[in-house]
Amino acid sequence: MNDDNKLEKVVAMSKRRGFIFPSSEIYGGLANTYDFGPYGTMLKENIRQLWIKKFVNENDNIHQIDSSVIINPAVWEASGHVSNFADVMVEDIENKKRYRADHIIEDYYEKKGEEIKVDGKSAEELDEIIKSQEIKSPDGNKFTDAKKYNTLFETEIGIISGSKNKAYLRGEIAQGIFMNYKNIIDSIHPKLPFGIAQTGKAFRNEITAGKFTFRTLEFDLMEFEYFFDNNKEDWNELFEYWKTQVEEFAISIGINTDSFRWRAHEEFELSHYSSRTEDLEYIFPWGPKELFAIAYRTDFDLKNHQEKSGKSLEYVYPDGSKIIPHVIEPTFGLSRAITVVLMNAYHEEEIQGENGLTGKSRVVLKLAKNLAPIKLSIFPLQKDEKIQSIAKDIYNNIREKFSAEYQDSGNIGKMYRKQDEIGTPYCVTVDYETIEDKKVTVRDRDTMKQERVEIDKLEDYITKGLTQ
């Protein structure tokens, strides 16, 4: 399959099979916004739960919270986001469409077969490149002067016009964690080192076109802040340990090691709070892009919030000694991971024909089995009352253990095609032989091999298959 149009096929399949839909489509949609359908919601939740299991449930010293999307705007002032959370923008002078200046320049040089590094350049420097090269907009028009603009979404609190207070939708979920650091200290009394984790929505007023759910206005993040005493712990060792854990998680959701790479941020591109950051980048057909990341935030956030709020955020040891903890932050883009997981799992295969399948190809989503929205689908092979009754009994019993579907519409070939495309690991067919031998036929998604399995051993069979 040509990788150049793989994303296009994944987008089409996602809509056709109920994974992801363009948002508000009947009104023409809204750029960089998507809605998750039934299977997409299940896939996203499976990834989230796998993350919670690995980083929260299996670590006694990491505590999960769920903070507010709207917090006191003074938090964003203190964190540096109001002054630093900005991109450089240019605008088409004719149609007023906006673009990120760095992306416009990079695309221009890529088409010329050349490379250019523009990270860290000022608005004036980017503007000079655009003007000197006479770079035009995608619609062939000139640009306005490049200028910075903040990517935080502004909103207002209050009901009386003229007296409303400006606030922001959160542009990251880390600040909610820092705001609850003292609450966790006072209520849970954890010993250093410890972590605070959360998953949830963040919002960025991006002006660049995204690649499906990889870059959107509203997106899901999963991250934790790992607090430690920099006088007792080597931050480099902690950084490398959590870096390994991030990589293990990527592998656990089905991403091959040859499909990603680590890239360290150069000094000029480090965030204002970071002393070291590395991105785990997925290698797309159009180039590597950040999927997950890990950063050493030092004591920047807690020290800043202590100074600006006037509240002590020191950790007090039993002997009375006090410190401001340092922080390692692993961050995981959940919405981004959906695009990567779907692209990684999408396959088109030639086949010889199978139980009524017409044609010699199939689309199959080879998801990691623990992530598949539906683990097995039950088919009655004939429209016979006894067969259907047995199939429904199997379905009703086994869905308490696994996410399952009962399907009796269409021929067997079409039912297989649907389940292949949504990534269902196992299809179970009930036929006339089942009435006599109490066995069903289990078909494996990846190999298409079929095996007769006793009904009372089906649960064990599926459990074993999902854990292999």
Are 141 and 93 found together in one domain?
yes
Q: Which pTM value belongs to this model?
A: 0.87
Are 9 and 120 found together in one domain?
no
Question: Can you give the pLDDT at residue 359?
Answer: 57
Task: Give the C-alpha separation, 249 to 149, whole Å.
Answer: 35
The pair of structure tokens assigned to 109 is 């040089």
**DSSP labels for 164-205?**
-EEEEE-S-SHHHHHHHHHHHHHHH-PPSSEEEEEEEEEE--
Are 106 and 250 found together in one domain?
no
Are 132 and 177 found together in one domain?
no
φ, ψ dihedrals at 36, nearest 5°: -90, 125
Is pLDDT of 392 > 90?
yes
pLDDT-derived band at 85, boundaries 50, 70, 90: low
pLDDT in tens, 122-179: 778 888 888 888 898 888 888 888 887 778 888 888 766 665 688 899 999 999 999 9
Quick one: what percent of the chain has pLDDT higher than 90?
64
Listed residues 320, 343, 366: the one ending a domain: 343
pLDDT in tens, 171-224: 999 999 999 999 999 999 999 999 999 999 999 887 666 689 988 899 999 999
Are 187 and 300 found together in one domain?
yes
Residue 163 included in any domain = no
Query: Which residue reads 């019993």 in tokens?
Result: 397
Domain span at 109: 86-150
The pair of structure tokens assigned to 280 is 């785990």
Is pLDDT of 445 > 80?
yes
**315-316 and 376-380 beta bridge pairing:** unpaired
Listed residues 319, 343, 367: the one ending a domain: 343
Task: Give the C-alpha separation, 364 to 347, whole Å.
Answer: 5
| Integer angstrom CA distances of residue 303 from 78, 174, 295 | 10, 15, 17
Residue 358 included in any domain = yes
Is pLDDT of 382 > 90?
no
The verdict on whether omega for the bond into residue 193 sits within 30 degrees of 0, i.e. cis, is yes
Helices 334-345 + 38-52 axis angle, to 10: 110
Mean pLDDT of all residues in 389-414: 91
Residue 158 included in any domain = no
Are 228 and 99 found together in one domain?
no
Residue 75 included in any domain = no
Residue 81 included in any domain = no
Task: Return mean pLDDT, the chain.
Answer: 89
Task: Give the C-alpha separation, 176 to 69, whole Å.
Answer: 8
pLDDT-derived band at 250, boundaries 50, 70, 90: very high
pLDDT in tens, 297-323: 999 999 999 999 999 999 999 999 999
Residue 103 included in any domain = yes
pLDDT-derived band at 102, boundaries 50, 70, 90: confident
φ, ψ dihedrals at 88, nearest 5°: -95, 130
Is pLDDT of 86 > 70?
no
Are 331 and 454 found together in one domain?
no
Are 413 and 298 found together in one domain?
no
Are 400 and 335 found together in one domain?
no
Question: Can you give the pLDDT at residue 316?
Answer: 96
Closest C-alpha among 144, 160, 156, 181 to residue 63:
181
Are 48 and 107 found together in one domain?
no
Are 259 and 182 found together in one domain?
yes
User: Beta-carbon neighbour count of residue 304 at 10 Å?
Assistant: 18
Domains in the chain: how many in total? 3
Of the listed ranges 114-123, 127-136, 421-430, the least confidently predicted one is 114-123
The dihedral region occupied by 5, where left means phi > 0, alpha psi between -120 and 50, and beta the remainder, is alpha
- Residues 6 or more apart from 404 whose CB is under 8 A from it? 374, 375, 376, 377, 378, 395, 398
CATH code (residue 118): 3.30.40.230
CATH code (residue 364): 3.40.50.800
Question: Can you give the pLDDT at residue 92?
Answer: 83
Residue 162 included in any domain = no
CATH code (residue 332): 3.30.930.10
Closest C-alpha among 162, 174, 392 to residue 271:
174
* Residues 67 and 180: beta-carbon distance below 8 Å: yes
Are 204 and 264 found together in one domain?
yes
Residue 221 included in any domain = yes
Question: Can you give the pLDDT at residue 466?
Answer: 93
- Residues 6 or more apart from 260 whose CB is under 8 A from it? 247, 250, 280, 281, 282, 283, 291
Mean pLDDT of all residues in 252-265: 92
